Amino acid sequence: IKKIGLFTSGGDAPGMNAAIRAVVRSAQYYNIEVIGIRRGYEGMINGEFIPMDVKSVANIIQRGGTILKTARSEQFRTPEGRRLAYDQLKRNEIDGLVAIGGDGTFTGARIFGNEFDVPVVGLPGTIDNDLYGTDFTIGYDTAINTVIDAVDKIRDTAESHDRVFIVEVMGRDCGLIALRTGIASGAEAIMIPETKRDLDALMDKLENGRKDKSSKIVIVAEGEEAGNAFEIGHQVKEKFPNYDTRVSILGHIQRGGKPTCMDRVLASRIGVAAVEALRDGHRNEMIGIVHNEISYTPFEHACKHNVEINANFLKIVEILSI
Ligand code: F6P
């Protein structure tokens, strides 16, 4: 491998910059050139290439977002789009790719890697933590810390007004952000798509839970199964007109901000491992960390349908929220 193309794709996640820095610096360490590809697959097709060196990634380890920018590309879904991307890579003598992103990014990478003779490795970068083959994805730790910071603040006002708060967190169709932040913020209930969001159980909890509680927080993962937080809030209001109920959707603040120490270290470790993996002949694999060891997972297995929810977490909420 002489020249790596590096890009971020899909939703951004805090720690992506730390991963970019790690890839660029470790490549330089191993005498490999790095070309930054802006705006993910879209920029690959359009030839938005910028040479990167040690200096170009100075002072970014602590910054949220991605200096390479990111996009979701429709064109790359087509064989013609992928052919254009391949031609651009060839023209620029890029002989390996490091993709930082999530499920959609790796689906694209898998198809591209099977169609063309360019080895691709992936770094899991998404706040959702919905990839199999790594204990944590880059950005998840920062996002859950942002969530608990916000919910702690909501708790202050909920407690002052004796209110019920339905708080919606991100995760697309995965409940892992909700699950952890629900425990960490002392939520009274968590509703996640994986357990089909049992509305009756929620009503039961609100009806029969301890009466001397001033505030109640329900963390709801986004996703359509039981409706969004506003619909759930509406149903709670109908059933309990005497509860003062409010809905809060945390939204994109969950994607921004300085990455935590955990995310920076994770990104640095797997960033270096990705370059080493390409040198060692790996291709079509996501690099992650499982049980504190670097792991290599074929893209087709990394996709989120393999991620399991630890049911014990829900039990913990049930026990601790009495
Ligand atoms: O995958 C990350 C994520 O933030 C999800 O949690 C969320 O469903 C989605 O991206 C939002 O995407 P967009 O920023 O395109 O609205």
Compute and round to an integer the Cα radius of gyration of the chain: 21
pLDDT at 264 over 60: yes
Is the CB of 128 within 6 Å of ligand 1? yes
Taking alpha carbons only, the member of 176, 188, 200, 204 closest to residue 151 is 188
Instruction: Looking at the CA of residue 72, tell me the nearest atom of ligand 1.
Output: 15
Residue 253 assigned to a binding site: yes
pLDDT at 308 over 90: no
Residue 254 assigned to a binding site: yes
Is the CB of 126 within 6 Å of ligand 1? yes
Q: Lowest-pLDDT range, 16-30, 65-79, 112-126, 183-197?
A: 183-197
User: Per the structure block, which two tokens stand in for 3?
Assistant: 């020249």
Chain centroid, CA 185 distance in Å: 20
Interface pTM, i.e. ipTM: 0.98
Predicted confidence band of residue 83 (pLDDT cuts 50, 70, 90) = very high
* Options 12, 87, 117, 128, the catalytic residue: 128
Residues 12-37: what's their mean pLDDT? 98
- Look at strands 244-249 and 216-221 and give their pairing: unpaired
pLDDT at 203 over 80: yes
- The pLDDT mean for the chain works out to 95
Nearest CA to ligand 1 atom 9: 172
Q: What is the model's pLDDT at position 60?
A: 98
Sequence-separated (6 or more) residues with CB below 8 Å from residue 309: 175, 176, 179, 192, 194, 195
pLDDT at 23 over 90: yes
Instruction: Considering only residues 152 and 208, tell me which one the structure prediction assigns the higher pLDDT.
Output: 152
128 labelled catalytic:
yes
Is the CB of 255 within 6 Å of ligand 1? yes
User: Per the structure block, which two tokens stand in for 93?
Assistant: 């003598």
Taking alpha carbons only, the member of 135, 28, 290 closest to residue 6 is 28
Is the CB of 163 within 6 Å of ligand 1? no
Distance 170 CA to ligand 1 centre (A): 7
Q: What is the model's pLDDT at position 253?
A: 98
Residue 209 assigned to a binding site: no
Could you give the CA distance from residue 64 to residue 54 in angstroms, rounded to a whole number? Answer: 19
User: Per the structure block, which two tokens stand in for 281?
Assistant: 């002949």
